[in-house]
């Protein structure tokens, strides 16, 4: 049996959980998330906790699915109650960011500004023109948005410029050395 899958997921009081025909809907103060439960997995829901059950006899992958399903549900519960937050830093001369409605406008050293449309579940806030704060109830969507934004100007090891996550350290390389 899966060690992670055996643990119940605690449900706070301010959540509305509904489960019908393999579709789980969790509503909280930060938003609403939908999740389809895989076929060998079933859920047991009480007032304060949610447990994951698996059919081990008919499916060999159910152990892995049990732990993965439980971890995903726990991320959903955390997302709709508290939300996931990430901070990006723009490092480079002239690199700036601004939020215009649901668009993130980035000046990253190109001849034109880069406009990035934010998905409806992701909210952005810019402080000091070089710090972008992203918040969402969906952990996977937030990670994908961060990856898409970082693709515009990934961190580079020679000058250390680019879009960096908070706390990320870029290992610097020595450039070309001249003839001696």
SS3 73: helix
pLDDT higher than threshold 90 for residue 114: yes
Residue 47 · residue 61 · CB < 8 Å: no
Cα–Cα nearest to 51, from 100, 91, 2, 98: 2
> CA-CA distance, 29 to 14, in Å (whole number)?
7
> Over pLDDT 70: what percentage of the chain?
97
pLDDT digits (tens, 9 = 90+) for 79-103: 999 999 999 999 999 999 999 989 9
Alpha helices per DSSP H over 48-176 = 62-81, 139-152
- 76 touches 155 (CB < 8 A): no
Q: Where is average pLDDT lowest: 50-64, 87-101, 132-146?
A: 50-64
Per the DSSP assignment, residues forming a β-bridge with 134 are 86, 124
Q: In 3-state terms, what secondary structure has residue 113?
A: coil
SS3 6: helix
Which pLDDT belongs to residue 58? 67
Contacts (Cβ under 8 Å, ≥6 apart) of 13: none
Predicted confidence band of residue 180 (pLDDT cuts 50, 70, 90): low
Q: Structural domains in the chain?
A: 3-81 (3.90.930.12), 84-165 (3.90.930.12)
- Tell me, rounded to whole angstroms, the distance of Cα 159 from its chain centroid: 28
**pTM of the prediction?**
0.86
Coil/strand/helix, residue 45: strand
Please give the sequence-ordered ranges of beta strands (E in DSSP) within 37-167, or none if there are none. Answer: 41-45, 49-54, 84-91, 96-100, 103-107, 114-117, 122-127, 131-136, 162-165
């Amino acid at each position: 049996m899966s060690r992670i899958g055996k643990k119940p997921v605690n449900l706070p009081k301010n959540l509305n959980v509904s489960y019908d025909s393999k579709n789980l809907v969790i509503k909280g103060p930060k938003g609403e998330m939908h999740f389809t439960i895989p076929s060998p997995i079933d859920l047991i829901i009480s007032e304060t906790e949610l447990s994951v059950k698996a059919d081990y006899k008919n499916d060999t992958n159910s152990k892995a699915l049990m732990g993965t399903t439980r971890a995903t549900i726990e991320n959903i519960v955390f997302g709709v109650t508290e939300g996931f937050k990430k901070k990006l830093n723009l490092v480079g001369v002239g690199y700036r960011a601004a939020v215009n409605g649901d668009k993130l406008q980035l000046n990253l050293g190109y001849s034109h500004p880069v406009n990035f449309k934010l998905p409806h579940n992701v909210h952005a806030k810019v402080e000091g023109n070089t710090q972008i704060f992203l918040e969402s109830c969906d952990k996977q969507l937030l990670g994908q948005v961060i990856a898409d934004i970082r693709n515009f100007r990934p961190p580079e090891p020679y000058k250390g410029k680019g879009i960096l996550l908070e706390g990320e350290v870029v290992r610097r390389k020595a450039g070309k050395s001249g003839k001696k």
